[in-house]
Amino acid sequence: MTILITDEQRVKLLANAHAHAEDPDLDPPPVVRLFTPDAHATWLLTELDPEDADTAFGLCDLGLGMPELGLVRLSELASVRGPMGLSIMHDLYFVAQRSLSEYTRLARANGSITD
């Protein structure tokens, strides 16, 4: 099975979920960027459900021109293969440059996540 998040990222994603529960207006930067190397799908994740460590929240862009905030199951993403048979990858060099709401605003305006 493909490992999509590191232990360190898991800790940050869980911390964001706990902080968001305390402050619903919290707008953290994404912790993880996942992508398909052979398609145009991207996920920017900010939280991991403490009750179900397989469910993450973030900005989901399936490459259809309609990026949306939502929930994803990491186990399902780990099983996805793109048109060339490549699995979803974890961007090792991703460092968020803005908050999730700003990524979302820009992605909706552009029809895709641009960075």
Domain boundaries, the chain: 7-110
Has residue 20 got a pLDDT over 80? Answer: yes
Has residue 32 got a pLDDT over 60? Answer: yes
Has residue 1 got a pLDDT over 60? Answer: no
Report whether 57 contacts 70 (CB < 8 A): yes
- What integer best gives the mean pLDDT of the chain? 93
Residue percentage of the chain with pLDDT more than 90: 81
Going by C-beta distance under 8 Å and a sequence separation of 6 or more, which residues neighbour residue 7? Answer: none
What pLDDT is recorded for position 55?
96
**Residue 8 — very low, low, confident or very high, per pLDDT cuts 50/70/90?**
very high
What pLDDT is recorded for position 81?
87
What pLDDT is recorded for position 2?
63
Q: Which of 89, 33, 99, 29 is nearest to 60 (CA)?
A: 33
What pTM does this model have? 0.93
- Higher local confidence (pLDDT), 45 or 83: 45
Report whether 50 contacts 44 (CB < 8 A): no
Report whether 78 contacts 85 (CB < 8 A): no
